[in-house]
Structures are given as C-alpha cells and as structure tokens.
Amino acid sequence: MSEVVHYGRQGRVAVISIDSPPVNALGQAVRQGLLDLIARAQGDDEVDAVVLTGKGKAFSAGADIREFGKPALPPSLPDVINAIEASGKPVIAAINGVALGGGLELALGCHYRVAGPFASLGLPEVKLGLIPGAGGTVRLPRLAGARAAIDIITAGDPLKAEAAEAAGIVDRIAEGDVVAAALQVLEEGVTGRRTRDLAVDAKAETFAEARAAIAKRSRGLVSPLACVDAIEGAATLPFDEALAKERSLFLSCLASPQRAGLVHAFFAPREAAKVPGIGPDVKPRKVETVGVIGAGTMGGGIAMCFANADIPVTLLEMKAEALERGLATIRANYEATRAKGRMTAEEIETRMALIRPSLDYADLAGADLVIEAAFESMAVKHDIFGTLDLVCKPGAVLATNTSTLSIDEIAAATGRPQDVVGMHFFSPANVMKLLENVRGKATAPDVQATVMEVARRIGKVGVMVGVCYGFVGNRILHARNREAIALVNEGASPQQVDKALTDFGFAMGPFATSDLAGLDVGWRIREERRKANDPEVDAPNWLDTLAEKGRFGQKTRAGIYRYEAGSRAPIPDAETDALIAAYRAAQGIAPRAVDETEIVERCMFMMVNEGARILEEGIAARASDIDVVWLNGYGFPAFRGGPMFWGQQHGLDRVLAGIDAFHARLGTKPWQAAPLLRRLVAEGRGF
C-alpha cells in the first residue's frame, strides 16, 4: 500500500489518486506507488478500467524538482508512463487541476484525457533549463502537431483547459466533478487510444523556422533548441528511438549549469517569502484599503498595482494639476494595454473606479496601508510622515517607497515607528516583479508580515531587507556601475561594456540601462550629496557632464547613447566619446585596450563582493534573497541563478583570487575583499 498514491474502486473502475501535498510532485514514492497500483489494476479481476487523478488542487506539478542533481532513484518516470500506456485496461486521466511537466506527461500516457474547467496544462521544463524528459516531446506532437508542440514546449506557458482541448491535448472538459466525468466516459463505452500509435503531423521546414526564431530570442539558453531537436526526433524517428533521443537530451540539460541556475531561480523567491524571525504565528494586519501619496511615475504605478488586484486605493496629491496629470497617465497606460488586446474598455473603467483621487490628507484616515511615493528628500518625508501620524488610524501600516533614505530616520518623524516600513517598488511599478520590503530597527513583526503578504496579493516577488544606503538592489547596482564607469575611464567604450554584459546574459547593459532610467536621477542625487560634503560620493566625471548638458538619456533622445525619434535602440555617439576622451586627458589617463573577460570579471566580482558585505551586515538574510532582488528587479539572467549563485558556481575561491588581484592592481577601497568571502573560502564553504 502506498501512502502517497491511493487505490479506490467505483464499480468496476479503479480510481488511482496521487495524494502528495502540496502539489502532487512525482517523487520516488509517488512513482513507485503509481507503478504498483497500475500493476494491481491489471491483476484485479473486478476492474475493467482505470481513472487516474490527483487529490487536492493539483493533478500533478511534475517531477519533484528537489530531486534534480541527486542520484536518480527507480522507477523512472518514463517507465511509469510506459506502463500506463501499455495497460490492457483503458486508463482515463481525470485532470482536476494543474498538470505540469511530468504531470502532463503522465496524462499524455493515458488513453483519454478529461479536464476540469479550471485545470491548466503545460510543459514548463524549458523554464528550468530542461526539456520534457518523460515522453512530452514525443507524445505532445502526436496529439497537437509538431508546430503547436514546439510553441507550447519552447514557451513553457500553461494552457487553460479549453485551449488544451482546442489543441487536441484534452479530449473532453468536465462540467462538474472531473472523476465523475471520467467515469461517464467509460460508461459511454469510450476507451480512448494509445498516443504512441498516432502519427506526427509535421512539415520539414517547421524545424528550421523554429530554430531560427529561437536563436533570436533565447540568447544563450541551451534547452529551447534541445526541445526542437527532440520534437524533430518525434517526427522523424520510430517512437521508442524518439523517446531514447529525448531522454538523452533531457539528461544532458539536467547536468547543465543553466539548469542549476534556473532551478535556484525557481526556489529562491519561495524561500524569500519565509522571512527569518517572522514565523507563521505572526499574522499580517488586514489590508482592505490603501492610500498612495504622490501621483508621479512611481505613485501612479503603485496605485495601478492595487487597482489591478481589486484593492481600492486613494491617490493623494498636493495640487489638482499634478493629480489630473497622474490620473491621465494611469488611464493612458491602461489604454496602451487595451490597444494590445490585453484589456477591455470595461476593465479599464473598473480599475479607474478603484482609484479614488484626493487632495486632502483626511481621506487617508481610514486606510489600512499608506505608501508614500513623494520626492526623495528627508525633509519632505519628515513632513509627510508627521502628517500621517496625525491623520492615520491606529494600526495603519505607514510605508515609504524611498530607494535610498533611512527608514529609521523617516520613522522617527512619527510617534509609531513600529508601524513604519519601506516598500521599494521598481519602475515601472505596475510591471516590475520585485518589491524590496525594508524593515527598520523598530518595524513590528506583524507589519513585516503584512508587507510580504501584500507583495503576494499584488503579484510581486517580495524580499525583506534591512536598512543601508541603496538597500540590497541599488547598493549592488551602484558598486557594479562604478566599476563599469572605471572600465570606461581606463579605455573601454560604453558600448563595449554593455555588449560584454548582454553577452553574459543581462537584458540590458549598465549604460543603456542608465539612459533608460534617466541620467538626471543619479546626477541630482550626487549633486545633493556633494553639497552636503558626503565623503562617500564619487568625484564628478563625464556622466555628470552629460547630464549638465541636458543629455538625460532616452527621454531627451540623447544620453550616453543617442536615439532616433520613436526608437529605443542605443546608437553610440561621438559627442560622448569626446567627453570621455576629455575626461581621461584631464585625469592624465592613457587609455588601454580592455577585453571582455576583464569587463565581466570586474563587474561580477564587484557584485559578489558587495553582496557578501550585505550578507555580513545582515541587510539580507540569505544569499538567495540577494539573487531574488537581482533576478526580479534588474534583469539578471535567470539561467545564471543571480549574482551570489553565479559566484558560487564560478567558485568562491576563484572570485576571491580575482578580487585580490584587482585590489593589488587597482588599489581602490571597494576592491578590498569582504571578510565574509575570505572566511568562507578559508573554510571551504559556500554562502
């Protein structure tokens, strides 16, 4: 008897159900249970047919991802699925919920598929650096055709039940209980067929076209092309040979560093959701209404996040004009989504109606959570939080979207520092996944639990961090960008640095990103800090000169690069080159050739080193939290797992040796190795 797979009887039908919470993943015990119970059904004289289903919300979320990278334990999933397909008694899949990866492959091995109306089906392996490894690339094309199979498998996105039916993957949609519907199918005398007996509908040119399209979009990823190879095998080889080819491609992807990085990227945000010190006993405060202060780019985007999640939000501004401008921008953003066919006119009105404009702080009196997104100045924040202290109800969570200022100092403007917390959204706030939540010294545990819960409700990846200049994300960004600038000062061109890092896998290089964000932002912050005689601020350089000349980046069609009207494509600009040359001359620097390896190493080692400092200071609770920040807020390539994971994969000893070598050569303070890094290497440990 298996504890994770059950055998029941409904008349002359065996109902086999997977019961392995939370998602019915196909770990060793489940595979063994399935194999045993399929065999039992074969030998059970009182059984003519089998219904296979899942208990709870999932049919099955596929292979147990935690088993990857460990020695494989028999039986293998392909063996289980082959046994199901070979069954002499019809096996009907009753797909009650998600059927993903190996979960869908299990269903594809059944002879007929009934799906509940809310089921979703997909082969997301490519997102984990894999290909479907249990017959998915060989069976799906037999049901859906090679073209559709390529699209489904290389995108990895799940299909809803209806779309799966239209594609030929599901045979029937159940109206009520899915097991009852499967029993009904058998009652009608339907017994289905073996997927392996079907032919693959494929055109020869489909594969070349797919490879060309994938090479363009998947930038360095190995598994999407392996998916196409496997599907081509399905179309050109006998069934069993195609299965063997798929298995061998699967195993080579399984052993790849990209798979390790992507699996890390899958688990890291789930880990980040568990904040050390905030156990499940700490209940979040109730958040039913929200206030947002400031209707600028950030405030407007934040208000949209709540409206999109069906949470009413009061949007406060000081002047009617600014409020109207903010609302118009929000509406224009929604209209742009509608123009792409992803939203209806009614939906726009519903969401706009959830955003209540206001010019009066008194309207925030009932809000459960207020998020301030006003001008980045401590004096302004003090005024606002002093006012919030007066108008907000007791127990309201008072959050600031500051990206640099101390939460503790802001909290000091109130008589309730325990209720004050940072919620650092990333621009555009309605799009970017990351929400860096910042706990101050006094932030209450239930306030921390509340902002993590809010992140989840509005579809963000929440990470809890501590207070320091720039928190986790921008602090590392600053260190990395300072190095990128140093490389240009020494002789690289901005486009060479950007290319080295996009070749590494970043969505954009540091200089193209600065142009997108606006050079004026950093320049103004540096100017403020220089005026305040901040000893840590960098000396003025060619970037400051660009900003002084009004070259703010994409928005002025000139920054580090120049831009043609209506285009976001960066074009190298001789004017920038001249400014850089003048800067080098003024500093007495003779430019030298800088190669790609040096660019990548200096930027990446610097990130790992700064990350190690952040860890040591307790600003981030775990190295993987730092990875989550960079993966979701800064376009770090997911297949590299995040900067800290990359450092570990590269070898912390190699990273440290590189840091020491750059320190010896460049002598600058940031190149001093973080003590934590040195200690870990000495002890032969990882982060």
Catalytic residue IDs: 105, 125
Which residue, 126 or 604, has its beta carbon nearer to ligand CAA? 126
Q: Which of 80, 95, 128, 434 binds ligand CAA (CB under 6 A)?
A: 128
Q: Which of 47, 50, 63, 181 binds ligand CAA (CB under 6 A)?
A: 63
The DSSP result for 349-411, as a single string, is HHHHHHEEEES-GGGGTT-SEEEE---S-HHHHHHHHHHHHHHSPTT-EEEE--SSS-HHHHH
Please report, as residue ranges, which positions from 248 to 287 form the binding site for ligand CAA (by CB under 6 A): 270
Which residue, 102 or 261, has its beta carbon nearer to ligand CAA? 102
Q: Is 608 in the site for ligand CAA (CB under 6 A)?
A: no
Cβ atoms of residues 464 and 275 within 8 Å: yes
Q: Is 65 in the site for ligand CAA (CB under 6 A)?
A: yes
Q: Is 126 in the site for ligand CAA (CB under 6 A)?
A: no
Shortest spacing between CB 257 and ligand CAA, in angstroms: 17
Q: Which stretch binds ligand CAA (CB under 6 A): 59-67, 295-303, 352-360, 601-609?
A: 59-67
Q: Which of 18, 37, 38, 77 binds ligand CAA (CB under 6 A)?
A: 77
Which residue, 135 or 357, has its beta carbon nearer to ligand CAA? 135
Shortest spacing between CB 624 and ligand CAA, in angstroms: 12
Which residue, 118 or 375, has its beta carbon nearer to ligand CAA? 118
Cβ atoms of residues 477 and 511 within 8 Å: no
Q: Is 626 in the site for ligand CAA (CB under 6 A)?
A: no
Token pair belonging to 560: 């580090």
Q: Which residue is nearest to ligand CAA (CB)?
A: 101
Angle subtended by helix axes 204-217 and 146-155, to nearest 10: 20
- Quick note: the x/- pattern for ligand CAA over 525-564, rule CB under 6 A, is ----------------------------------------
Q: Which stretch binds ligand CAA (CB under 6 A): 64-72, 305-313, 401-409, 609-617?
A: 64-72
Q: Which of 54, 62, 559, 611 binds ligand CAA (CB under 6 A)?
A: 62
Shortest spacing between CB 97 and ligand CAA, in angstroms: 9
Interatomic CA distance for residues 34 and 47, integer angstroms: 16
Side-by-side strand order, sheet with 369-372 = 355-358, 313-316, 290-293, 369-372, 397-400, 420-425, 434-438, 461-465
- Side chain identity at residue 163, one-letter code: A
Q: Is 133 in the site for ligand CAA (CB under 6 A)?
A: yes
Q: Is 22 in the site for ligand CAA (CB under 6 A)?
A: yes
| Residue 46: Cβ-neighbour burial (10 angstroms; 0-12, 13-18, 19+) | exposed
Token pair belonging to 489: 């000062």
Shortest spacing between CB 416 and ligand CAA, in angstroms: 33
Q: Is 100 in the site for ligand CAA (CB under 6 A)?
A: yes
3-state helix/strand/coil string of 83-134: HHHHCCCCEEEEECCEEECHHHHHHHHCCEEEECCCCEEECHHHHHCCCCCC
Q: Is 118 in the site for ligand CAA (CB under 6 A)?
A: no
DSSP state of 572: -
- Side chain identity at residue 206, one-letter code: T
Q: Which of 14, 16, 25, 298 binds ligand CAA (CB under 6 A)?
A: 25
Q: Is 23 in the site for ligand CAA (CB under 6 A)?
A: yes
Rg of the Cα atoms in the chain: 28
Q: Which of 33, 54, 90, 102 binds ligand CAA (CB under 6 A)?
A: 102
Q: Which of 64, 165, 419, 498 binds ligand CAA (CB under 6 A)?
A: 64
Shortest spacing between CB 29 and ligand CAA, in angstroms: 13
Determine how many CB atoms are found less than 10 A away from the CB of residue 89.
17
Cβ atoms of residues 259 and 253 within 8 Å: yes
Shortest spacing between CB 72 and ligand CAA, in angstroms: 11
Q: Which stretch binds ligand CAA (CB under 6 A): 36-44, 81-89, 97-105, 180-188?
A: 97-105
In the chain, the N- to C-terminal Cα span, in Å, equals: 42
Which residue, 98 or 181, has its beta carbon nearer to ligand CAA? 98
Which residue, 21 or 550, has its beta carbon nearer to ligand CAA? 21
Q: Which stretch binds ligand CAA (CB under 6 A): 123-131, 182-190, 442-450, 646-654?
A: 123-131
Shortest spacing between CB 15 and ligand CAA, in angstroms: 22
Matching residue, tokens 């979701």 = 632
Phi, psi of 148 (to 5 degrees): -65, -40
Q: Which of 94, 98, 292, 497 binds ligand CAA (CB under 6 A)?
A: 98
Phi, psi of 461 (to 5 degrees): -95, 110
Length of the chain: 687
Interatomic CA distance for residues 470 and 618, integer angstroms: 14
From residue 282, alpha-carbon distances to 38, 305, 619 in Å are 44, 25, 21
Which residue, 33 or 510, has its beta carbon nearer to ligand CAA? 33
Beta-carbon contacts of residue 575 (< 8 Å; ≥ 6 apart): 558, 562
Q: Which of 85, 125, 317, 372 binds ligand CAA (CB under 6 A)?
A: 125
Q: Is 384 in the site for ligand CAA (CB under 6 A)?
A: no
Which residue, 264 or 526, has its beta carbon nearer to ligand CAA? 264
- Side chain identity at residue 182, one-letter code: A
Shortest spacing between CB 429 and ligand CAA, in angstroms: 22
Cβ atoms of residues 470 and 403 within 8 Å: yes
Q: Is 41 in the site for ligand CAA (CB under 6 A)?
A: no
Range list of H helices, 237-319: 239-254, 257-272, 297-308
**Number of amino acids touching ligand CAA (CB under 6 A):** 25
Q: Is 326 in the site for ligand CAA (CB under 6 A)?
A: no
Shortest spacing between CB 100 and ligand CAA, in angstroms: 4
Q: Which of 4, 35, 51, 61 binds ligand CAA (CB under 6 A)?
A: 61
Shortest spacing between CB 640 and ligand CAA, in angstroms: 19
Chain-centroid distance of CA 414 in Å reads 35
Cβ atoms of residues 32 and 75 within 8 Å: yes
Which residue, 124 or 233, has its beta carbon nearer to ligand CAA? 124
From residue 631, alpha-carbon distances to 300, 304, 463, 510, 561 in Å are 24, 23, 12, 15, 25
Using CB under 6 A as the criterion, which residues of the chain lie in contact with ligand CAA when the complex forms?
Answer: 22-23, 25, 58, 61-66, 77, 98, 100-102, 105, 124-125, 128, 130, 132-134, 136, 270
